[in-house]
Chains A and B, each alone.
Chain A
Amino acid sequence: MTDFNEGDSISELKVTPDKYVPHRYAGASGDFNPIHIDADFAKMVGLPASILHGLYVMGLVAKAGTLDVAAGDPRALRRLSVQFRGMSFPEQEITVTGEVTSNDGERVTLDLVATQSGNQVIRNAIAEIDLPA
């Protein structure tokens, strides 16, 4: 636990989604785009394999930020904006890291990145999270 001062890093989140995560996320979210659940279809449209849902990875970014700053309080995350910059795949580790860019004593702003195999798949993720009262 830190005081979340400007420049501090938050605890890393490391997740290796198993091969069925895109299927389960499709069911949970309702997004059944075949590029996520059908490797043959994904290859047909020029992808190397079926890919993870970007919003699943954004969910990991949200989780990493709120777990460390606010112990997973669902009310704490006030704003999150991300840029999707690359494809990510099941069965390869994803690491979410983040740095505190401001802290006014009530709300912390983080700049987060999700990386897989050296590629920044989400970057410029700006999260505004309320500190526990």
Chain B
Amino acid sequence: MAIKTDAVGKSWPAFEYEVGKEKIGEYCRVLEIGNQVHFDRDAAREAGYRDVVAPPMFCVVYSAGSLGPTLFDPDVAINFAAMVHGGQEFDWGEPVCSGDVITTTPTCLEIYEKDGKGFYIFETLSLNQGGDMVVRGVWTNIVRGI
């Protein structure tokens, strides 16, 4: 059966996430990232940030939620049971600080079949409240035995 590609080029509604200081700290404690600019407002301001700043990979916290509707869309028709996260790419823009409201829009870039596997590639574009790009993500999901 040919892979369904109806969703290529489709975008879904933007997902909004308000960044909190304690959420940044929670993430950094798990990764054991000790830089005080992630915990202490004064340290962050001294380093030139508006507020406590998120480490780059915190982007998964505010952007991944945008992908929920894409995976459940019947145009995508992805087989969750056989899906693995095959690859991930992020390009960062402006730093993200506590208090920022980040809006992430997901788009399906590509769906194709190769070597009996289905490749589902989504882009997420995340902007802050000022309209500045904070991160662009490319998420590659692979479905075995398509």
Contacts and interface: CB of A to CB of B under 8 A. Distances in A.
Given A45-B81, A59-B31, A60-B31, A74 B53 contact: yes
Nearest to B49: A74
B127 interface: no
A65 B55 CA distance: 13
Interface string A103-121: 0000000000000000000
Contacts of A56: 30-31
B57 A84 contact: no
- Chain B interface extent, by class: 20 to 34
Interface stretch (B4-12, B84-92, B99-107, B116-124): B84-92
Given A25-B30, A63-B31, A75-B95, A30 B56 contact: no
A83 B61 contact: no
B61 to A, nearest CB: 6
B95 A74 contact: yes
Grouping DSSP codes into helix (H, G, I), strand (E, B) and loop, the B interface class, with mixed when no group exceeds half, is mixed
Contacts of B34: 72
Nearest to B56: A77
B3 interface: no
Interface residues of A, number: 30
A124 to B, nearest CB: 9
Contacts, number: 85
Contact of B38 (A66, A74, A77, A81): A74
Given A29-B61, A30-B65, A31-B64, A80 B89 contact: yes
A117 B86 CA distance: 20
Contacts of A24: 29-30
A55 B57 contact: yes
A106 B88 CA distance: 25
Contact of B61 (A28, A54, A60): A28
Contacts of B60: 29, 31, 55, 59
What 4 A-B pairs have minimum CB-CB distances, sorted nearest first?
A81-B89, A59-B57, A77-B56, A28-B27
Given A74-B53, A81-B90, 18 more contacts: A28-B23, A28-B26, A28-B30, A29-B60, A30-B61, A31-B64, A55-B57, A56-B31, A62-B55, A74-B35, A75-B95, A78-B92, A79-B89, A79-B91, A79-B92, A81-B89, A83-B86, A84-B86
Interface of B: 23, 26-27, 29-35, 37-38, 53-57, 60-61, 64-65, 81, 84-92, 95, 138
